[in-house]
């Protein structure tokens, strides 16, 4: 108003006016639905990929190894993690208003973090398993046995669940009806201590283990590459898996944990952060969250890189189903046989071989076509 824009003069003849100032923090921002779009894409892609992997393990894989157990549990936790995203998408589509109960808010956020850290620890177990395989491929440790792997998985489920119970108290449903993120809830001082504990034990420590395993695996694999033709042991797949695991782990989770702790620190009133700085930190934290959650959608790549007959078994099953649904598409011999029907021929299976008989070769009507010489259709023959 005019009264606020013009202040009383402090000296005779001096008028002090207040003019609007340009502030980057007060710029009108375009409300791009970044979070709901990213969460929706991650949910759809991750749901399809992890369901394919789970079905492949349940229906196609007969012989389970240690690595299969870790990868199967990784897929289960990723799927459970992705199932928490639709509720968050619903909240953001309703302008941040939580449409469900207080209990659902706590449960959804708890399951999100619980399965995220379980996924991190299962990735660590896979890296250690690959390291042991490359280090001594002819020896099996207890960690690599079926019972040992199942016990480790059970121990991780119990430990992570107990470690995240305090989050049920920290997460809160605000008066405005918004189910806030962990970093934006509760007391900033206590949350920072708890967040640092999670960061150290559930991120930094697993990351150090994965980096160590990756370096050792790479070094030993390069030494043994020249000998693998004599020992008939392939080291390329374990090496690729460890490198990809360490790289994706660092890219996905490092920015998230840095920005989460900065977000909690910025909420401490004693530090006196400017509102502009708080806005920048909050925006950075918002950007890194979907990047970290992207890990659950990309983990199915590990199942195909790992091998261990899983990829071959799954692809063989998919091809078998496809050929049953479309028998005249794909294989050469099948295409030739199917195309022969259009030329007046007929296909007949005899002793496991496909033979083609031409009706035009029956010169004598009383003579059976089955008595004529036959020509076998070999794949690739002209």
pLDDT at 380: 39
Label residue 293 by pLDDT band (50, 70, 90).
very high
pLDDT at 126: 86
pLDDT at 225: 63
Q: Whole-angstrom Cα distance, residue 149 to residue 67?
A: 8
- Asked if 183 contacts 264 with a C-beta cutoff of 8 angstroms, the reply is yes
- Span of 13-17, 93-97, 141-145 with lowest mean pLDDT: 13-17
Q: Whole-angstrom Cα distance, residue 209 to residue 252?
A: 17
pLDDT at 368: 46
Query: What own/partner pairs with CB < 8 Å and gap ≥ 24 does 317-326 have?
Result: 317/56, 317/59, 317/60
Q: Whole-angstrom Cα distance, residue 153 to residue 72?
A: 10
pLDDT at 182: 86
Bridging pattern class, strands 375-376 and 346-350: unpaired
Positive/negative CA dihedral, 44, 48, 53, 57: positive
Q: Whole-angstrom Cα distance, residue 122 to residue 157?
A: 10
Of 334, 336, 354, 356, the C-alpha closest to 346 is: 356
Tell me: the pLDDT tens digits for 176-230? 678 888 898 888 999 999 999 999 999 999 999 988 888 887 777 777 665 655 5
pLDDT at 288: 95
For the structural domain made of 28-309, what CATH number should be given? 1.20.1070.10
Cα separations in angstroms, 292 against 112, 133, 146, 165, 212: 12, 28, 30, 21, 22
Tell me the two tokens of residue 194. Answer: 């708890």
pLDDT at 258: 97
Tell me: the pLDDT tens digits for 8-62? 444 444 444 444 444 445 443 444 588 999 999 999 999 999 998 898 888 877 7
pLDDT at 36: 93
Mean pLDDT of the chain: 76
Tell me the two tokens of residue 66. Answer: 């240690």
pLDDT at 132: 83
Tell me: the pLDDT tens digits for 247-279? 888 999 999 999 999 999 999 988 888 889 898
The secondary element (H helix, E strand) that includes residue 127 is: helix 102-135
- Asked if 81 contacts 115 with a C-beta cutoff of 8 angstroms, the reply is yes
Check pLDDT > 90 for residue 377.
no
Cα separations in angstroms, 100 against 38, 86, 90, 120, 142: 22, 12, 10, 29, 45
Tell me the two tokens of residue 159. Answer: 């430990």
Per domain, the residue ranges of the chain are 28-309
Of 119, 137, 309, 120, the C-alpha closest to 239 is: 137
- Quote the DSSP letter at residue 330: S
pTM: 0.73
């Amino acid at each position: 108003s005019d009264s606020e824009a013009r202040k009383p003069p402090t000296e005779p003849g001096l008028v002090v006016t207040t003019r609007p100032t340009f502030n980057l923090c007060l710029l009108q921002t375009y409300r791009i639905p970044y979070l709901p779009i990213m969460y929706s894409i991650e949910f759809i892609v991750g749901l399809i990929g992890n369901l394919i992997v789970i079905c492949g393990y349940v229906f196609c894989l007969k012989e389970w190894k240690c690595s299969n157990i870790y990868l199967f549990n990784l897929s289960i936790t990723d799927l459970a993690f992705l199932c928490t995203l639709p509720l968050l998408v619903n909240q953001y589509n309703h302008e941040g208003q939580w449409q469900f109960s207080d209990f659902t808010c706590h449960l959804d956020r708890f399951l999100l973090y619980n399965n995220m850290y379980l996924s991190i620890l299962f990735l660590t177990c896979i890296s250690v398993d690959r390291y042991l395989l490359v280090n001594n491929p002819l020896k099996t440790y207890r960690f690599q046995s079926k019972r040992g792997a199942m016990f480790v998985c059970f121990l991780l489920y119990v430990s992570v669940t107990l470690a995240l119970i305090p989050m049920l108290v920290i997460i809160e449903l605000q008066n405005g009806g918004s189910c806030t993120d962990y970093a934006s809830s509760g007391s900033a001082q206590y949350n920072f201590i708890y967040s640092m504990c999670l960061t150290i034990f559930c991120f930094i420590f697993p990351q150090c283990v994965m980096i160590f395993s990756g370096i050792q695996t790479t070094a030993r694999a390069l030494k043994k590459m020249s000998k693998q033709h004599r020992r008939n042991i392939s080291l390329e797949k374990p090496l690729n898996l460890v490198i990809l695991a360490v790289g994706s782990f660092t890219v996905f989770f490092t920015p998230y944990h840095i920005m989460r702790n900065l977000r909690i620190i910025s909420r401490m009133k004693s530090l006196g952060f400017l509102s502009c700085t708080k806005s920048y930190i909050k925006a950075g934290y918002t950007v890194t969250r979907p990047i970290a959650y992207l890990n659950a959608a990309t983990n199915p790549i590990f199942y195909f890189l790992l091998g261990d007959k899983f990829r071959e078994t799954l692809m063989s099953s998919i091809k078998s189903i496809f050929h049953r649904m479309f028998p005249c598409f794909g294989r050469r011999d099948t295409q030739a046989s199917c195309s022969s029907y259009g030329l007046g021929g007929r296909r007949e299976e005899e002793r496991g071989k496909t033979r083609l008989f031409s009706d035009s070769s029956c010169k004598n009507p009383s003579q059976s076509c089955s008595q004529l010489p036959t020509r076998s259709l070999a794949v690739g023959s002209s």
